[in-house]
Amino acid sequence: MPMIGVPQAHAVNAGSPDVLVGVLDSGISSSHPDLAGQIAKDKSASCVGGVVDTTEAAWNPTTSDHGTHVAGTIAAAVNGLGVTGVAPGVKVAAVKVVNDDGYIFPEAAVCGFVWAAEHGMQLTNNSYYIDPWEFNCRNDARQRPVWQAVQRAIRYSASKGVLNVASAGNSNVDLQHKTVDAGSPNNGTPEVREVNSACLDLPAEAPGVLTVSAAGPTGEKSYYSSYGQGVVEVAAPGGDSRFRTRGVSGTAADQILSTTFNTVTRTNGWGYKQGTSMASPHATGVAALALSAHPGMNPGQLSAFLQNTAVAQACPEGVYNPAPLHPDGPHAYDATCAGGARNGFYGAGMVSAYNVVK
Q: How far apart are CA 55 and CA 52, in angstroms?
A: 9
Residue 307, pLDDT score: 98
Contact, 291 vs 122, CB < 8 A?
yes
Residue 310, pLDDT score: 98
Residue 112, pLDDT score: 98
- Taking only the tens place, the pLDDT of each residue in 38-49 is 999 999 999 999
- Taking only the tens place, the pLDDT of each residue in 211-252 is 999 999 999 999 999 999 999 999 999 999 999 999 999 999
- Taking only the tens place, the pLDDT of each residue in 4-13 is 999 999 999 9
Q: Which amino acid is at 53?
A: D
Residue 89, pLDDT score: 98
DSSP 179-248: -EEEEESTTS--EEEE--TTEE-TTTTSTT-EEEEEE-TTSSBPTT--B-TTT--EEEE---TTTTTTTS
Residue 129, pLDDT score: 97
Q: H or E segment at 84?
A: none
What is the arithmetic mean of pLDDT over 75-97?
98
Q: How far apart are CA 133 and CA 121, in angstroms?
A: 28
Whole-model pTM: value is 0.98
**Mean pLDDT (the chain, rounded):** 97
Residue 110, pLDDT score: 98
Residue 130, pLDDT score: 97
- CB atoms closer than 10 angstroms to residue 262: 13
Q: How far apart are CA 289 and CA 339, in angstroms?
A: 29
Which of these ranges, 16-25, 93-102, 136-145, 325-334, has the smallest mean pLDDT? 136-145
What is the arithmetic mean of pLDDT over 319-337?
97
State how far the alpha carbon of 10 is from the alpha carbons of 19, 88, 344, in Å.
Answer: 16, 9, 30
